[in-house]
Amino acid sequence: MDAQHRFSEPEREAVYRAIALRRDTRHFVPGQVLPEAQLLRLLQAFHQAPSVGLMQPWRLLRIRDAALRERLAALVEAERQTTAAVLGERGAEFLRLKVEGLRDCAELLALVLPPDDGTVFGRRTLPREMALCSAGCAVQNLWLAARAEHLGLGWVSMFEPQPLAELLRLPEGAQALGLLCLGPVERFYEAPMLEQQGWRQGRRLDEMLMDNFWKNESDGN
Amino acid sequence: MDAQHRFSEPEREAVYRAIALRRDTRHFVPGQVLPEAQLLRLLQAFHQAPSVGLMQPWRLLRIRDAALRERLAALVEAERQTTAAVLGERGAEFLRLKVEGLRDCAELLALVLPPDDGTVFGRRTLPREMALCSAGCAVQNLWLAARAEHLGLGWVSMFEPQPLAELLRLPEGAQALGLLCLGPVERFYEAPMLEQQGWRQGRRLDEMLMDNFWKNESDGN
């Protein structure tokens, strides 16, 4: 592989298309199995992420035990009910949304931030923030690779961390960040599901950009 | 654009190649300017990232003021010296590494986590973690799009947050996460620069994977 390789226009467009068409996915075709070679490609993409100081602060627990998957799904369901209660007047609307596909997805992976390894390089001042951002980069790689393989990925973050840590037997200092649902889908959402369902609309790019200094968002920037 | 679009094998390979060839970059060709249309494509890729609850917890300050860029570079240099002192016996080796390209890169963008907007969806229990992971996803999109455009990106996280917040006039509750250096490069590193320079070697994928439950890394898993 030539590391200096330039991307042709169709190749560049493929990268942009994966970015544009990637969706956080809750609807999977049940009962599917991913070929091991395909799963390995996807996990290698995950692991090729950048990380601050090369700390690679990501671990994946592949949930193969059906009973464990069921317990994880129950934990997510409990948090879904708690979230609905906290949401108050929008709670009923929230409960009508499909927010996870834990039982149906072909592969379920628990994303865990390992105990801090003490890396100082690039993270003397913001150690936890940099570890979390690096883990996010790894999942985004997995997401885009999955989309290119015509697979959906859903990042489920509705859970109480402590009981989840107990179920996964995490050591002190480790932090579960997500339950990643991966597998074949009937179709990809045309837009983020929360937009399609009228839950919330995303803001435009130009609202995210400022010149040089922060400008108060209420200034109508 | 057909959201159901399947990726052809060459398209899929292009996505994997961008993931494999992306590098955290410190060496830029000085004095370059990015065409505005290209910068806009890149920023749109950034903004197409997923985010928990569709909160889009990312803001970019485009540093166009040369004096401000110089002050940011000085802040990073101060932290580089502090890091070297903290590293003790590896401090001198650390100081020989090139760790940032703030003065040379075509575009300098400050990545800022905005004040929390109170989103509950998917982040009742881990609100800050989920915001940080989402910001990481956005930068990874930018990184891959940049690689496909034959541009380098470096995420510089060596700074004291408080003086940086003052320089950027950030409001209470906002958190600067990085100074993103973007622009043309002479070449891409064949491997992560920290590996090439013998600072640290990355671990293998199989060391990151476990079945069902956490297994102590000292168990020789």
List average pLDDT for each run of 10 residues in chain B, which is 221 residues long: 79 98 98 98 98 97 98 98 97 97 98 97 97 98 98 98 98 98 96 96 98 79 41
| In chain A, residues 176-215 whose CB comes closer than 8 Å to chain B | 177-178, 187-190, 192, 194-195, 199-203, 205, 208-214
The 10s digit of each residue's pLDDT in A52-79 is 999 999 999 999 999 999 999 999 999 9
A129 touches chain B (CB under 8 A): yes
Which fold, A25-184? NADH Oxidase (3.40.109)
Location of structure tokens 């990355």: B202
Mutation test of the interface with chain A: which of B76, B139, B140, choosing the one with the most A Cβ atoms within 10 A? B140
Residue A111, strand partner residues: A60, A178
A221 pLDDT higher than 60: no
Tell me if A211 and B64 make a contact (CB, 8 A cut-off): yes
Domain ranges of chain B: 24-197
Tell me if A147 and B7 make a contact (CB, 8 A cut-off): yes
Of the listed ranges A113-117, A131-135, B4-8, B196-200, the one predicted with least confidence: B4-8
The angle that helices A9-21 and B9-21 make with each other, rounded to 10 degrees, is: 90
Distance in Å, alpha carbon of B132 to nearest chain A alpha carbon: 6
pLDDT of residue B180: 98
Tell me if A19 and B141 make a contact (CB, 8 A cut-off): yes
pLDDT of residue A97: 97
pLDDT band at A4 (very low <50, low <70, confident <90, very high): low
Tell me if B50 and A124 make a contact (CB, 8 A cut-off): no
The 10s digit of each residue's pLDDT in A11-20 is 999 999 999 9
d(CA B179, CA B163): 14
Other Cβ atoms less than 10 A from the Cβ of A13: the count is: 15
Of B5, B12, B124, the CB nearest to A21: B5
Of B15, B121, B135, the CB nearest to A148: B15
d(CA A15, CA A7): 10
Which fold, B24-197? NADH Oxidase (3.40.109)
Number of residues that make up chain A = 221
In this prediction, the answer to ipTM > 0.95 reads yes
Tell me if A64 and B212 make a contact (CB, 8 A cut-off): yes
pLDDT band at A220 (very low <50, low <70, confident <90, very high): very low
Location of structure tokens 């102590």: B216
d(CA B163, CA B156): 15
Q: Which of B171, B169, B140, B145 has its CA nearest to residue B155?
A: B140
pLDDT of residue B2: 52
Q: Which residues of A touch B59 (CB under 8 A)?
A: 208-210, 214
B53 touches chain A (CB under 8 A): yes
Tell me if A157 and B11 make a contact (CB, 8 A cut-off): no
| In chain A, residues 94-123 whose CB comes closer than 8 Å to chain B | 94, 99, 112, 114, 120-123
The 10s digit of each residue's pLDDT in A170-183 is 999 999 999 999 99
pLDDT of residue B221: 41
Which is more confident, B5 or A24?
A24
Q: Which residues of B touch A60 (CB under 8 A)?
A: 208-210
For the segment A193-210, the average pLDDT, to the nearest whole number, is 97
